[in-house]
Amino acid sequence: MAGNDRSELHKTIWRIANELRGSVDGWDFKQYVLGFLFYRFISENLTNYINTNQKKAGKGNFDYAKIDDKTAEFGRKTTVEEKGFYILPSELFVNVRSKAKTDENLNETLANIFKNIESSALGSPSELDLKGLFDDLDVNSNKLGPTVAQRHERLTTLLVAVGDFSIANYSDNTIDAFGDAYEYLMTMYASSAGKSGGEFFTPQEVSELLAKITIVGKNKVNKVYDPACGSGSLLLQYAKVLGKENVKNGFFGQEINITTYNLCRINMFLHDINYEKFDIGHGDTLADPIHWDDQPFEAIVSNPPYSIEWDGDSNPLMINDQRFSPAGVLAPKSKADLAFTMHILHWLATNGTAAIVEFPGVMYRGGAERKIRKYLLDNNYVDCVILLPPDLFFGTGIQTCILVLKKSRKTSDVLFINAENSFGREGTKNTLRPQDIQAILDTYSDPKSKEHFSKIVSYEEIKANKFSLKVTLYVPPMDSTEIIDIEAIGSQLNDSVETLINLREEISKVLTSLNDSRFTQQLSDTSKIKTYTLSKLGDIHSGLRGKKKSHFVDGNAKFVSYVNVSNNSKLPKAIDNYVKVNENERQTKVQKGDIIFTGSSETLEDVGLTSVVCETPEEDTYLNSFCFILRPKAEIELLPSYAKYLFRSKLIRDKIIKCANGVTRYNLSKESLLETEIQVPDIDIQEKIAQKLEELEGLTEQIRSLLPVELAVRAKQFSYYRDKITQFEVASDDNQ
């Protein structure tokens, strides 16, 4: 398929994916589009596999999708051994899609099919690879609609639309059709989701660079590994740049986030990596690595989370762990970056190469991190350090480095590459262009010093600089005085103005609909509004106070304290790590849909701030001191998407603030809180209000994100004209 056709296909897929989600947040809805894409892929992949084998056996007109289930059972055992799973003809995507509109129990049909696909692998070597793959595809979720009829309509639309993706006959020499569609969708979802997407998705061009660094001079490798593999984009680069057949013994990775772990396994299947060729594990790599029996690895790539907390020296076992002990010191508890680096080094094969994305501070900070860098340099493991351009990654604009490690180096010199200016601009992000990647690879493959770009530095010079690996210390950038292209600035401003005009027009449409008499009449229909006290609306739980670390035993637990309740609709980030709750403790566990209130604050403005937990917490999270939880009763129809706006509204906030008492702190009184009255409209009105407010909020956020860009461009424009009109041509002496 030509590049233009592929681009058009991508645009079509993204347009349909956006239309499908309706009022559902794009990030929440991604698993449905990706999940149905996966369901379609394994259905077609299995059908093609069986049809091909039958045709080889002389049955030229055989079509697995058209035979009955009873006849199909003949091939179950052999197929599961080969493919790792089985799907009966009636449960294939194409057949379910054709009957979707008339299937009144479509949600149950799909739920059973997903269960059957997973259970088809029970007792086989592929069991763990299939287990839980459909867990995030909740066909009974309110995200699809508050009623069965609405969910049926959304599911039908999903099946039809995903079936219409014109990818069945598309392939090129580097990536299969479904895998290409998956990667594109993941890129778009990560880009639009900001931080929540960027946490686990590395841009494709960065993934390509990392993979190619580790295979310089090779056309095949034994095994590849990523200890923080996210959705698998880094690992799968090897299938593109080498061909999956040239990764002899498979793709290995570990991921701590359960949803992302499932996405990674789906990604493997969608790239036609069969179950016996990959082993993706779920869990904390630093605390509980699962691939001891599979290491060492010839090629390791990773973009681990930046400066996260880990057990460090609070766990006495860590300093004796064979992965970390050689350095004689552990990475700081609040900065696990070099803990990942030491883990990677330990599992790296003697003939292998590792390429790791590092937070820049890791390269020059003192303390334990300097001692670990000294160990790496003293033992001649550091091969190269590459400074990347800023603003490459989703959700962050920080500038990162690539640390390249090897165990069998022939020289103690280190190559430094300053590629901070090697990028192009696409949309709102910087990107590595093909020529940028090639320039870095050429210099790495044939190391040489080039002014302002690269330098081969001796161990002695690095030692004199206190083992700093800061690239700009050795390869200073060119004159940073920016040459301003005033025409390009004008064009950029025109684009920005046009985008802002379009966004304002969209906001105007939403405001018009909010003021429409048909909409306002619904809000004024008192027959559709019920009044509840909070005690009738749900159960209120409080967090226990005065708890100390010694009160909890047996593992780690996250706690939400009053200081964590922030102005958003997701679970607030817990800042305290305690040991796990004893079974005898009555600590309140946070659940999906809980509404958290700040119970106490030093300022009246902060009292009662709420955060609606719209998503299931990724781990057990408990309510700590000075907090209340309102847990809506099952029989009360209260949409989380509506509740997050309701409990932030001025009317409700004012009511909650009236429940505050106390002298030095403004404490909420539980008794007063229970009697606070709340008006709750019918579910259809809630859905309409939430949809309008989400749409308005989203458009407003887009404008907010564009304004800093315009201000930055305006600042350049000002600098250009300031410098232009304050410089004068001075007459020479000859003309005086």
CB atoms within 10 A of CB 592: 12
Per residue in 693-725, pLDDT tens? 888 888 888 888 888 878 888 888 888 888 778
Q: Write down the pLDDT at residue 172.
A: 40
Q: At what angle do helices 26-56 and 106-119 cross, to 10 degrees?
A: 60
pLDDT of residue 1: 46
Whether the predicted pLDDT of 545 surpasses 90: no
Tokens 């088809």 identify what position?
Answer: 120
**How confident is the model over 475-502, as pLDDT tens digits?**
998 765 667 778 878 877 887 788 888 8
In this structure, how many other beta carbons lie within 10 angstroms of the beta carbon of residue 304? 24
Taking Cα atoms as reference points, which of 590, 596, 586 lies closest to residue 552? 586
Q: Pick 67 or 263 by higher pLDDT.
A: 67
pLDDT, tens digit, 9 for 90 and up, residues 391-416: 888 767 788 999 999 999 989 999 99
Helix crossing, 3-21 with 148-164: angle to 10°? 180
Mean pLDDT of the chain, nearest integer: 83
Q: Which residue has the higher pLDDT, 149 or 571?
A: 149
The tokens for 199 are: 């946490």
User: Closest by alpha carbon to 470, among 541, 548, 395, 386?
Assistant: 386
Give start and end residues of each alpha helix (H) in 311-457.
Answer: 337-346, 367-378, 434-445
Nearest residue to 229 via CA among 254, 197, 257, 259: 254
Q: Residue 580 pLDDT > 70, yes or no?
A: no
* Model confidence at 734: pLDDT above 50: no
pLDDT the model gives residue 174: 37
Instruction: Give the pLDDT band (50/70/90) at residue 147.
Output: confident
The winner for highest mean pLDDT among 16-30, 401-415, 684-698 is 401-415
Asked if residue 271 lies in contact with residue 247, where contact means CB atoms within 8 angstroms, the answer is no
- Beta carbons within 8 Å of 74's beta carbon, 6+ residues apart: none
CA distance 412 to 716: 44
Residue 21: predicted pLDDT: 64
Cα–Cα distance measured from residue 147 to residue 718, given in angstroms and rounded to the nearest whole number: 55
Q: Which among 404, 500, 414, 418 has a CA at the least distance from the CA of 211?
A: 404
> Is residue 234 a contact partner of residue 261, using CB atoms and an 8 Å limit?
no
| 652 vs 276, residue with greater confidence | 276
Residue ranges with strand state E in 98-178: none
Identify the H or E element spanning 204: helix 204-214
Query: How far apart are the C-alpha atoms of 167 and 134, rounded to whole Å?
Result: 22
In this predicted structure, what is the pLDDT of residue 625?
A: 67
Phi, psi dihedral angles at 61 (to 5 degrees) = -100, 10
Residues in the chain: 736
What ranges in 479-516 are assigned the alpha helix state H?
486-515
By three-state DSSP, how is residue 69 classified? helix
Residue 439 pLDDT > 90: yes
Higher-confidence residue of 90 and 426: namely 90
CA–CA dist 346, 318 (Å, integer): 14
Confidence (pLDDT) at 455: 96
* Rounded-to-integer distance, Cα 73 and Cα 90, Å: 12
Specify the pLDDT at position 382: 98
Query: Both tokens of residue 311?
Result: 């057990």
Confidence of residue 558 (pLDDT cuts 50, 70, 90): low
Q: Is the peptide bond before 296 cis (omega within 30 degrees of 0)?
A: yes
Helix/strand/coil for 335: coil
Locate 571 and state its tokens.
């679970």
pLDDT on residue 289:
96
**CA 439/CA 122 separation, integer angstroms:** 49
Report which of residues 438 and 480 the model is more confident about.
Answer: 438
The pLDDT value given to residue 565: 59
- Say whether 382 sits in a helix, a strand or coil: strand
Query: In the Cβ-directed half-sphere of 206, how many Cα atoms lie within 13 Å?
Result: 30
Structural tokens at position 359: 């937070």
- Preceding omega of 125 cis (within 30 degrees of 0): no
Residue 195's pLDDT band (cuts 50, 70, 90):
very low
Taking the C-alpha atoms of residue 593 and residue 573, their distance in angstroms, rounded to an integer, is: 16
Express the helix, strand and coil content of the chain in percent, nearest 5 each. 50, 15, 35
Where do we find the tokens 């059973």? 112
165 and 116 Cβ atoms separated by less than 8 Å: no
Tokens of residue 679, six digits: 């008006």
Whether pLDDT at 322 is above 60: yes
Q: Which two tokens stand for residue 255?
A: 């991921």
Decide if 335 contacts 307 (C-beta within 8 A). yes
Query: Given this model, what pLDDT does residue 170 score?
Result: 38
Structure confidence at residue 440 (pLDDT) = 97
Q: Which residues contact 242 (CB under 8 A, 6 or more apart)?
A: 215, 219, 220, 221
